[in-house]
A and B are shown apart, each in its own frame.
Chain A
Amino acid sequence: MEAGSEPLPLDILITNVVCVFRVRCHLDLRHIALKGANVMYKRDEGKVVMKLRRPRVTATIWSSGKIISTGATSEDEAKIGARKCARCLQKLGFQVRFGAFRVVNVLAVCSMPFEIRLPDFTKQQRPLASYEPELHPAVNFKIKPLTASMQIFSTGSITITGLQNSCSPPSLIFPHPKPRSLLPR
């Protein structure tokens, strides 16, 4: 994580890992809602939301057996959480078979030690960066090699979304620290 001339130690914290998996059987949402623990039944949308405590994940369960799990802080945790959720469903009596586990989205947060001048930054990174102060106070920057995007705030905080897995962040995300305008204070 070089920053041009001097290397700066940057911490990229993964805040959220979203994954999908299947339990390979139809689920009776009403049964889960009545008998399950820590669940919320959203009948209008046809889903059940199950919140696990450890790891702290929220699983959205559909009657088709497809489940989306969010809130984990690492891929392994996401997998553990998914398996726990499947185990809960198994205990409720369904013939569950864990399958098709796939990490869909990884969100990470990073903070630069300096502030960033957004208008100048956007002018330099024209096609990749888009800044609309009226709509959102951050610059939307598309990271070219990955199909991920960053939201860069003027305080130096950066939110990275759209990553495929958590291994890519450091190497590919920061090829461009130089164009950033450092603010002398």
Chain B
Amino acid sequence: MTVTPARGPHPVTKIYCPSHPDAVLVEDYRAGDMICPECGLVVGDRMIDVGSEWRTFSNDHVGKDPSRVGDAQNPLLNGGDLSTVIGKGTGAASFDEFGNSKYQNRRAMTSQDRAMLTAFREINTMADRINLPRNIVDRTNNLFKQVYEQRCLKGRSNDAIASACLYIACRQEGVPRTFKEICAVSRISKKEIGRCFKLILKALETSVDLITTGDFMSRFCSNLGLPKAVQIAATHIARRAVDLDLVPGRSPISVAAAAIYMASQASADKRTQKEIGDIAGVADVTIRQSYRLLYFKAAELFPPDFKFDTPVDKLPQL
């Protein structure tokens, strides 16, 4: 039961159960014990709980936050300084005759940190507009930090870099957003975001996977309110079209839009080209062009178990 000091293959924990040295100890926070899950031996006791002392709620901004450790910093992102500041005075002596505090230390953080914080706020706003999850936002923040510290793109607008980082993060997470979607939530033009995108890839020496038609299907179809069967059909059509190389040189987004059009026109939920174009950010002439290329082999493109509301030969010919 004695606590033996660590040696060898236990770099993280300093204590371990003597009979099960490889077992990961379970912490019982109520009693302050570390218990071995294999044999139930209490290995360490009087463990100090490093959680917060009180609970604080976000709508409780009543002046004092009773937490004595301060905010959770973002040390990875903000230069992580552990510097301290002089606190505001409390006694009468620290205020001069007008009631202003004598020691005014509103030392702002470095301009670098401030620029980064502004960018993070901007990224948060943009991501919020298109409901991106936290992991993408975190990845974007990390990318921005890397790019910012490299200073290669120093002349470019921070917002442009932030938008491009957001685009890259979505791609890296496997849920790409089109440039037009990112444009919609950013004030930067598509051209500038595209330029920054290429520069960032070069600066960070990474590359991203190519976009495929399937990446956008679920989003476009649910925005259009199409049922699952139509979505599956559209995905199948687009994939077959690319495999058969019916649409060389066309952007996957245009092919996806045309596939959705074909699938929806064959089902009971028909959508017009304009509606699909609005959602996908594709011009309806572009959908028409891609659709014409798909129309030839329409019969081969549909999945075998698709229920046709409008048969293949009755599909609109544009």
Residues on A facing B (Cβ under 8 Å): 115, 117-119, 122-123, 126-127, 130-135, 137, 153-155, 183
- B179 interface hit (Cβ, 8 Å): yes
- Is A135 touching B207 in the complex (CB atoms < 8 A)? no
Total contacts A-B at CB 8 Å: 42
Inter-subunit contact B249/A153 (CB<8 Å): yes
Query: B248's contact among A115, A123, A134, A135, by CB below 8 Å, is which?
Result: A115
* The one of B179, B210, B253 that contacts A123, using a Cβ cutoff of 8 Å: B210
Q: Report how far A154 CA is from B179 CA in the complex, Å.
A: 22
Q: Which residues of B contact A (CB under 8 A)?
A: 178-179, 194, 197-198, 201, 207, 210-211, 242, 245, 248-253
A90 to B211, CA, bound (A): 57
Contact check, B251 vs A117: say whether CB atoms are below 8 A apart: no
User: Which B-chain residue is minimally distant from A135 (CB atoms)?
Assistant: B194
Q: Is the CB of B249 within 8 A of A134?
A: no
Rounded to whole angstroms, the CA-CA distance of A135 and B179 in the bound complex is 9
Q: Which residues of B contact A115 (CB under 8 A)?
A: 248
Residues of B within 8 A of A133 (CB): 210-211, 250-253
For residue A184, which residue of chain B has the nearest CB?
Answer: B245
Q: How far is the CA of A134 from the CA of B286 in the complex (A)?
A: 13
Instruction: Report 20 cross-chain contacts, Cβ distance below 8 Å, ordered by A residue.
Output: A117-B245, A118-B249, A119-B210, A119-B242, A122-B210, A123-B210, A127-B207, A130-B198, A130-B207, A131-B210, A132-B194, A133-B252, A134-B179, A134-B194, A134-B211, A134-B251, A134-B253, A135-B179, A135-B194, A155-B248
Task: Give the chain B neighbours of A117 by CB distance below 8 A.
Answer: 245, 248
Q: Which residue of the partner chain, among B201, B211, B248, contacts A154 with CB atoms under 8 Å?
A: B248
- Closest residue of chain B to A183 (Cβ to Cβ) is B245
Identify which of A132, A135, A137 contacts B249 (C-beta below 8 A).
A137
